Structure 1
């Protein structure tokens, strides 16, 4: 590995610390280097807070501030050039007279999309663009998918028995994944903007769909209930976390509980995906049930699949797990009796 690439890898590590907290902004990390020594680093920690470049410069110690004008700034995404929640980072870089900037990839957001690079270049900043570009785009895959494909990043997740069943035949719940895996699932929830379940899962499992076993923010809860037959006594209607009900009957905007009307004439999953884009929701993790998950697979509307298999559990005459057509196995891990496989839709 090139020495300089180490600094960009550090930017990507820092960026990931903001995962689940910055949307609709991207996750970004920045490192300031002078003579192969890091003198400052930072990341975008949550939406509305200072950007990575700002935090990086603020972290520089008093003894090193004199070296800012003789340093190289590494940043995992093109510095912004527009006024949003915070002032443009490109202006700050110019103001601080940083002579060299290494950028992993361009920002696809229409308000940036090369404007930050143009502003820095016009100010005489020495630029290098494209270091670890593929890795940086993958780190921000939710953000890039949203702005380039005009839809949220879609993750499918389910747990299945050794004989590929996800529930009993009467839809009653079976605890398939172990306690340690469940903590990981809650971590996953906290990393995404929203979480989606179907009517039967909501009715039979009565899930909270919140983050409880690990620190993290709750995703927006989404449920498909076309005929509005779910009882309001379910956890989903406790109004403790923002919840959206996709249905065919009414459209009501509420602060904690909203109803989003879709039709039966067009694919429900396509309408839901379009609605999430319109609502500026950049990612969704689909947790079930089997019919809803299979609909996303059949419509080829998915980016990742995370499948948990417990090799010690067999369910007689149960509900069959979804059939994942295509997809490339990226990696796998074992957590005691649970085997987790991670797929990408290629």
Structure 2
């Protein structure tokens, strides 16, 4: 199962809003016969790819299938994996965790039992759940998994009321920032930030998924002549005092299961005040700037889980207590 977890991680940044899943097939004589993972949204699931990798089909007889998440039981972009497994001569299916999706939710495991397969679930469950914090949050809380992200100087300053753009990140920081973007379905900034910075909100410096830009504030109309207005994927939202209803609609109406909030300070503080955060990412520059806008104060219920240096800058990841998390930077 640990090998299957490692395979699942290869799908991060490529399969959302689907979960990242890994699968290992072990023959009756305890040899790995095949393995696979969900590589791309809309393409074959982990179980399908693992079965396809088995060169000697005789090795499937009485084999054990280890999969990090309960095999799906419904028709979506691909046929049900549970149905496929019922038609194979495998003996046992071991699932790391059940699928909270109401379309599955134990039905996949029950389908396998009804077909006479031996079924075991809950193996390395915590590790398997930790693979998919966005998927779990969306399915169980009906909102995206939310990461708050900012950069600041040594005094915790992140901006200036004069409108001057302050630079805290370096080349390494920008690279890792774009990597972070590929791990999310969407990026959100406030309208003032969009006006002041005219950003692209893309992940051009890192290969992988391109997140959907979101601008919130004002009347929700596009900013004429801006880079984001030129992007047909940009979602423009009006100001709202009900952030919880807004993020719920992002999941239910736009299929956004993970959201990266990049600022500015007012928007970040609004999310913190509403209790809408699961993970916080802060890049700290050792220099002191002339800015006068402070970065948000860290909430009391987050704890640091990892850090690394990007040149002179320090990148820190903080997680909300009790959440399922990917603890690597």
TM range (shorter): over 0.9
Give me the whole-angstrom Cα distance separating, in 2, the residues matched to 1:230 and 1:116. Answer: 44
Tell me whether 1:13 sits opposite 2:15 in the alignment: no
Instruction: Report matched runs for 1:71-220 at 5 Å.
Output: 71-220=63-212
Tell me whether 1:339 sits opposite 2:314 in the alignment: yes
Name the residue aligned to 2:327: none
Give me the whole-angstrom Cα distance separating, in 2, the residues matched to 1:330 and 1:163. Answer: 22
Q: CA RMSD in A?
A: 1.5
User: SS at the partner of 1:148?
Assistant: helix
Listed one character per residue, the Cα deviations across residues 293-329 of structure 1 (whole Å, up to 9, x for unaligned) are 0111111110000111011x21124210111112111
Listed one character per residue, the Cα deviations across residues 274-297 of structure 1 (whole Å, up to 9, x for unaligned) are 221222211100001011001111
User: Taking structure 1 as reference, are residues 92 and 175 closer, same or farther at Cα in structure 2, changes over 3 Å only?
Assistant: same
Instruction: Report matched runs for 1:225-240 at 5 Å.
Output: 225-228=217-220, 231-239=223-231
Instruction: Report matched runs for 1:239-318 at 5 Å.
Output: 239=231, 242-247=233-238, 264=240, 266-267=241-242, 269-279=243-253, 280-311=255-286, 313-318=287-292
Residues 14 and 28, structure 1, Cα contact 8 Å, conserved in 2: yes
Give me the whole-angstrom Cα distance separating, in 2, the residues matched to 1:299 and 1:174. Answer: 27
Residues 154 and 283, structure 1, Cα contact 8 Å, conserved in 2: yes
Per-residue deviation at 1:104?
Answer: 0.2
- Of the structure 1 ranges 284-293 and 336-345, higher mean CA displacement relative to structure 2 is found in 336-345
Moved over 6 A (4+): none
Residues 172 and 205, structure 1, Cα contact 8 Å, conserved in 2: no
Residues 69 and 97, structure 1, Cα contact 8 Å, conserved in 2: yes
User: SS at the partner of 1:192?
Assistant: coil
Name the residue aligned to 2:325: none
User: SS at the partner of 1:236?
Assistant: coil
**Count of residues in correspondence between the two structures:** 318
Give me the whole-angstrom Cα distance separating, in 2, the residues matched to 1:48 and 1:216. Answer: 15
- When the two structures are superposed, what TM-score results if normalisation uses the length of structure 2? 0.93
Residues 32 and 71, structure 1, Cα contact 8 Å, conserved in 2: yes
User: SS at the partner of 1:32?
Assistant: strand
Per-residue deviation at 1:117?
Answer: 0.5
Give me the whole-angstrom Cα distance separating, in 2, the residues matched to 1:229 and 1:144. Answer: 32
Q: Where do 5+ consecutive residues of structure 2 fail to align? A: 322-329
Listed one character per residue, the Cα deviations across residues 229-277 of structure 1 (whole Å, up to 9, x for unaligned) are 76311111112x51111116xxxxxxxxxxxxxxx5x42x223212212
